[in-house]
């Protein structure tokens, strides 16, 4: 389905009980909404209900600024729901943070320019000058921040200021090799997506390909997750692997891993911009 | 979720229009049904609505023999729905048809005896004596039918008679090398599952591994589908592939393919016995 | 292993018989060559011997222009071998042919500029103006050829002239939607690589994603192959697939397929520039 | 290639230097051996040379008991090689150790009885009575050993005695839930194959599926490895994964994992009985 059409998306979670789907779908049909996509999940162990519904705004008898109060009053408040609403035609604004590896940056920009994603990319942030030319090549402002042992918090404050100026909705760490502070993360809770070059929880932290080589594994992987205060331990959005053999050196693992990282990160970005992800505790529901 | 608990499963399809989910979920909540699983799909191109819902019978205020008329009267008749209802604790009775290859037969019986599937296997049918001992080993009646150029329709009549005697619900062609007649298929419409040893539509018909070898493909596959009058052209339930290389001979393709056939067929059987499949035209909706 | 180091690569095939590996390795050790990689394959059915060996030129007592005659005289002529020699530090020159889809073009250029491949890309050829800006963005000459019903052979002659001027070694059809003539193909025998957006031999020809959708397959694929006179029937270099479901529309198949096409094509290019491919009859040996 | 034909297999490793392949292939051609398969690998980082060659004994001018001394004298001793020789028609004798899970046991026995593997299975060993009937069904002696906190070393001694009586070549831990002592492992160094139900090194130890569920991973895996003194840390032979989603419960992970465990274990067994595995330090070379 087109991702920039005139449609609304509602994401809900609350304690599970009877009739929840019915009350939400009743709300939509009472207001003459035509559902184009609906998915639900009940986490049995936690007895939590997760729900995503997408419907056409054309013909819907509430306009965009009426939906909030109406849904809160008629449904959410009665069932103690946590919820959010989005409109498919609102372009999300994405910032890219990158260090020295450029393969994910190139892949993201290629998808952006070929029109694969309905987003805006107002800026690239880096702790290295290295890829300024890539930003220039694509006419995207490239902001270099020199990071050293002393100035980390100051740099983050400047970065946050810049992100606010550019109205950034979410951040992609496209192989960004700096650890973000809790304060920074708190400003973009569940809106910072990282790509880690291993199948987590294996090989969290530094040099995963070297450690994979040392261990003699027969598959390598990549993991895309929302960033939390715990390094490489945030809610996982997407993972995939590729088979390797004894013939692979660290160099070939890195080469093969790059393709994996690009694909896994791009799938996670796609799920996020489709508003198909819901974070609960340290897990991610990814409606498909 | 346990597949032999006291739950009902409703499968519906009809022309798509507004409010369908709401009327069905309202029916369930009006009768105090607790939904444990719900999935829907709208085929945009055909404007057809597909729906599967599973709910707990405990506390539901209609008993099993009341549901039919109630749902027909209160919902289905008003929206011209095609629908079926199942109860998760009803064990389906499955017949296995096999010829000379035994790997799928062994795999099915292993899953059956290890309790992986909640079904009954009242009989094995074969056009060869070869695997009678396997039936004996597992104490499953093995019925041999000599098939020759002359007696095909007579054999099928006897097979159908036998299947009715054993109240067989569905048939697995576990590498059964006979082509079934239209009359036979009509008796088990969408209830005969075949495994074909290629990724259909490639290499339909005879000797797919030989032809894959000849063509020099770099992946081989297997396809499980419902049997129709058109050979290897029925609605596909499940497919998977495995990578191969120039090093593979026809023999190694056959060896590697066997594992694929076992897995693909068993996934299709699982989907079928979970009542997660819906056939529409020549396609299969497989709710996951 | 680094692909621009001072190493030689020998590719051989001939009728299989005893001692072939020994005579070749003896030749290398007699001339003080240190083998860094060796792979062989015997096609049992055809009784053909395929061989690839890579060794360090440092310390080897024949220089580059002596190897030809020496190997021909001392080995190849005695065993009626078909063979070719390459030097890993010789950059291959690759031309990209593209039509309207840009995802493969972007992916190739990204890999090129991030230094993933040790090649030169002197030009892009297209039958559309559409992607001239991409060439400009990457400073690669973009050559537009208007193709119509009348001028095809004339266009091909001009293209061949251009390719010769730029000393092009091989051509990538990165979703190029024109069929090449036999004469054109003959000029670049086994040196034109196409990406087809299906798992061949399924869905050869036009609109494979539409036909995959119609058939209701549960996997889609991509195939990279050397171009021959028979459309989509050339020797396959690489194939891969991704699982899909009833939820996928033609649009989402196209979106998911793009990633597959990029990966499969890039793997084929990698194998080709590593000189790891050998074509025999209509199959490809891809040494790994 | 047929795995019970009259062929010899030589596995070698030693310090890498020039001409090693040549001296070995010269030995074979001097004695009129026809090579049917050859594979080599050089571990650059450790500068170690690994080699596997398979040749036809028919026409070879050394008989089986002459090869040892000849190869040692003419080749191995001169290059300080560690080596082993096998004959493809010698059936390996495999013992199965199992606890409560039966899926791997069933899968192994099915492959055994359908003639997929050229081996003997003289006995099944278990610390539970549970699967005695499976042994009976397949007419394989089932040996129950009651294991408690006190008698472990005594049990192992009896098991070793039994294994010697049955001339067991290697042992499969088909979901055997007992930890073997160093003494036991030393008796079958690199001849005990375990299947662990996670992609190691992730989720080593107990309840990997529960922990995978808790972590919210999007893939689960299985790993087959040779058993060493370090739990779940031995040389990996084979790994594979399957994708999962938020919809999966611990129960469905266990169900999906079973198929993975069966496939991964069977591939490892296949590699072992083909004598395609070589253990060096804590890694496994698996010639393909």
Query: What are the Cα distances from residue B252, in Å, to A194, B213, C241, D88, D268?
Result: 41, 10, 21, 17, 16
**Contacting subunits of A (3+ beta carbon pairs below 8 A):** B, C, D
In the set D232, D240, D251, D288, the catalytic residue is: D232
Distance of residue D262 Cα from the nearest chain B Cα, in angstroms: 10
Tokens of D259: 């198929």
With cut-offs at 50, 70 and 90, classify the pLDDT of residue D149.
confident
Measured CA angle at C98 (ends A270, C215), to 5 deg: 60
Query: Choosing among B259, B268, B269, which should be mutated to test the D contact, i.e. which has the most D CBs within 10 A?
Result: B259
Does the beta-carbon distance from D217 to A238 stay under 8 Å?
no
Average pLDDT of every residue of chain A: 95
CB proximity list for C173: less than 8 A, separation 6 or greater: C97, C192, C193, C194, C195, C227
Q: What is the secondary structure of C175-194 as a DSSP string?
A: S--SPPPHHHHHHTTT-EEE
Per DSSP, the three-state class of B281 is: coil
Find the helix or strand (DSSP H, E) in which C265 lies: helix C250-273
Angle at which helices C20-30 and D20-30 cross, to 10°? 140
Question: CB of C231 within 8 A of CB of C179?
Answer: yes
Question: CB of B51 within 8 A of CB of B13?
Answer: yes
From the number of C-beta atoms within 10 Å of its C-beta (0-12, 13-18, 19+), residue C242 rates as: middle
Picking from C2, C266, C288, the nearest residue to A247 by CB comes out as: C288
C-chain residues within 8 Å CB-CB of B288? 245
Q: Which residue of B has its CA nearest to A31?
A: B19
Tokens of B16: 């798509």
Measured CA angle at A53 (ends A47, A58), to 5 deg: 160
**For position B3, what pLDDT does the model report?**
43
D-chain residues within 8 Å CB-CB of A235? 216
With cut-offs at 50, 70 and 90, classify the pLDDT of residue D13.
very high
Could you tell me if the ipTM is greater than 0.90? yes
Question: CB of D6 within 8 A of CB of D89?
Answer: yes
* CATH topology (fold) of C7-87: Alpha-Beta Plaits (3.30.70)
Distance of residue B195 Cα from the nearest chain C Cα, in angstroms: 14
Distance of residue C49 Cα from the nearest chain D Cα, in angstroms: 10
Percent of chain B with pLDDT over 70: 99
With cut-offs at 50, 70 and 90, classify the pLDDT of residue D266.
very high
Does the beta-carbon distance from D255 to B137 stay under 8 Å?
no
Q: CA B248, CA B213: separation in Å to the nearest integer?
A: 8
**Contacting subunits of C (3+ beta carbon pairs below 8 A):** A, B, D
- pLDDT higher than 60, residue B228: yes
With cut-offs at 50, 70 and 90, classify the pLDDT of residue A3.
very low
- pLDDT higher than 80, residue D157: yes
Q: CA C283, CA C270: separation in Å to the nearest integer?
A: 18
Q: What would the pLDDT profile of C162-212 be if each residue is shown by its tens digit?
A: 999 999 999 999 999 999 999 999 999 999 999 999 999 999 999 999 999
- pLDDT higher than 70, residue C46: yes
**For position C5, what pLDDT does the model report?**
84
With cut-offs at 50, 70 and 90, classify the pLDDT of residue B149.
confident
Q: Which residue of A has its CA nearest to C255?
A: A116
CA dihedral D153→D155→D156→D159, nearest 10 degrees, is 160
Query: Choosing among A100, A107, A257, which should be mutated to test the C contact, i.e. which has the most C CBs within 10 A?
Result: A107
**For position D58, what pLDDT does the model report?**
94
Tokens of B188: 């088990």
What is the edge-to-edge ordering of all strands in the sheet holding A92-98?
Answer: A142-144, A119-126, A92-98, A170-173, A192-196, A219-226, A236-243
Distance of residue C52 Cα from the nearest chain D Cα, in angstroms: 12
Average pLDDT of every residue of chain C: 95
Per DSSP, the three-state class of A89 is: coil
Q: Which residue of B has its CA nearest to A19?
A: B29
Picking from C21, C34, C36, the nearest residue to D35 by CB comes out as: C21
Q: Which residue of A has its CA nearest to B17?
A: A34
Question: Which sequence positions of C are flagged as catalytic?
Answer: 232
B-chain residues within 8 Å CB-CB of D248? none
A-chain residues within 8 Å CB-CB of B48? none
C-chain residues within 8 Å CB-CB of A110? 103, 106-107, 110
Q: Which residue of B has its CA nearest to C219?
A: B239
Question: Which sequence positions of A are flagged as catalytic?
Answer: 232
Does the beta-carbon distance from A249 to D203 stay under 8 Å?
no
Does the beta-carbon distance from D246 to A216 stay under 8 Å?
no
Regarding predicted confidence, which is higher, B224 or C1?
B224
Domain boundaries, chain A: 7-87, 92-286
In a 13 Å sphere around the CA of D181, the CA atoms on its Cβ side amount to 11
Instruction: Give the other-Cβ count within 10 Å of A126's Cβ.
Output: 24
CATH for D92-286, options being 3.40.50.170, 3.40.50.300, 3.40.50.1100, 3.30.1360.200 = 3.40.50.170
Tell me the sheet residues that pair with D143: D125
Distance of residue A167 Cα from the nearest chain B Cα, in angstroms: 35
Start-end of H helices in B138-227 = 152-165, 182-187, 208-215
With cut-offs at 50, 70 and 90, classify the pLDDT of residue D5.
confident
Q: CA A37, CA C248: separation in Å to the nearest integer?
A: 12
**For position B1, what pLDDT does the model report?**
40
Q: Which residue of C has its CA nearest to A260?
A: C263
In the set B37, B89, B232, B233, the catalytic residue is: B232
How do the residues of chain D divide into helix, strand and coil, expressed in percent and rounded to 5?
A: 35, 30, 35
- Write out the residues of chain B at the interface with chain A, using a CB-CB cutoff of 8 A: 1, 18-19, 21-22, 25-26, 28-29, 32-40, 42, 44
Closest alpha carbon to B245 in B204, B286, B282, B212: B212
Q: What is the secondary structure of B215-274 as a DSSP string?
A: HT-SEEEEEEEE--SSTT-S-EEEEEEEE--TT--HHHHHHHHHHHHHHHHHHHHHHHHT
**CA quadruple D184, D190, D193, D197: dihedral sign:** positive
């Amino acid at each position: 389905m087109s991702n920039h059409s005139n449609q609304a998306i509602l994401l809900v979670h609350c304690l599970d009980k009877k009739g929840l789907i019915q009350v939400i779908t009743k709300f939509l049909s009472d207001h003459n909404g035509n559902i184009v996509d609906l998915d639900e999940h009940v986490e049995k162990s936690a007895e939590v209900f997760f729900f995503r519904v997408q419907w056409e705004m054309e013909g819907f008898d509430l306009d965009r600024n009426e939906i909030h109060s109406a849904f809160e009053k008629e449904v959410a408040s009665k069932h103690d729901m946590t919820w959010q609403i989005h409109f498919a035609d609102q372009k999300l604004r994405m910032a890219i943070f990158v260090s020295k590896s450029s393969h994910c940056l190139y892949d993201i920009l290629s998808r952006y320019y070929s029109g694969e994603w309905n987003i805006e990319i107002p800026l690239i942030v880096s702790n290295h000058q290295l890829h300024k030319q890539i930003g220039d090549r694509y006419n995207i402002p490239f902001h270099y921040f020199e990071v050293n042992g002393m100035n980390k918090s100051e740099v983050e404050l400047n970065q946050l200021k810049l992100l606010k100026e550019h109205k950034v909705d979410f951040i992609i760490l496209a192989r960004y090799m700096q650890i973000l502070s809790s304060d920074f993360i708190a400003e973009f809770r569940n809106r910072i997506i990282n790509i880690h070059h291993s199948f987590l929880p294996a090989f969290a932290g530094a040099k995963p390909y070297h450690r994979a080589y040392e261990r003699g594994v027969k598959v390598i992987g990549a993991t895309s997750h929302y960033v939390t205060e715990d390094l490489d331990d945030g809610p996982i959005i997407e993972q995939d692997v590729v088979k390797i053999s004894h013939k692979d050196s660290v160099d070939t693992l890195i080469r093969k891993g790059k393709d994996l990282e690009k694909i896994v990160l791009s799938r996670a970005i796609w799920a996020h911009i489709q508003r198909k992800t819901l974070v609960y505790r340290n897990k991610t529901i990814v409606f498909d």
